[in-house]
Amino acid sequence: MRRWGFSHPESLDWRQFSFCFCLFAGPLKRGAEGLRACSAVTIRPGKVDRSPTGTALSARMAVLHARGLMAERETLSSESLIGSTFTGRILGTTIVGGQPAIMPEISGRGWITGTHQHMLDPENPWLPAHRHLGRAVSHDVPSLPGPHAADAG
């Protein structure tokens, strides 16, 4: 299995993924109002985000700009599986830690879905943990109350 790592160009101690996602990006369509594409973003643990997400849109714009497919001031509208849209624009470029970078602007609309509390069963053998460079990284998520709750900490 191939493992991927990363290092931030300015924060060298930042080597842990805090939010992992996978972007499934549809083909680009170029129109009078800029670029447009559909996307699906998966997040852990095995869910599809209903939002196009600003993180995914920013990442895609950076890749398109690096490949010469998107210019400064140009827009990219990303539509999710449910039809919600975020629009991104490259305001400019800069250098971060010696690496080329874009300065994205993201616009869109979000709605509150409620207040949620997520709990994990400590006996669940599939507790979410990311494998990073061969070691598990646990997450601070409360456990379900029960006979083994004290052992979960």
44: number of Cβ within 10 Å? 14
* pLDDT tens digits, one per residue of 7-30: 778 887 776 665 556 767 788 999
**Poorest-confidence range of 24-33, 62-71, 75-84, 112-121?**
112-121
pLDDT tier, 34 (very low <50, low <70, confident <90, very high otherwise)? very high
Structural domain boundaries of the chain? 21-107, 118-153
- pLDDT tops 70 at residue 58: yes
- d(C-alpha 42, C-alpha 31), whole Å: 27
Percent of the chain with pLDDT over 90: 37
- d(C-alpha 76, C-alpha 57), whole Å: 8
- d(C-alpha 93, C-alpha 114), whole Å: 37
- pLDDT tops 70 at residue 83: yes
Cα torsion angle, 68, 35, 24, 97, sign: positive
Class of the CATH-defined domain 21-107: alpha beta
- pLDDT tops 80 at residue 62: yes
* pLDDT tens digits, one per residue of 103-149: 999 999 888 888 878 777 777 766 655 333 334 444 454 444 544 44
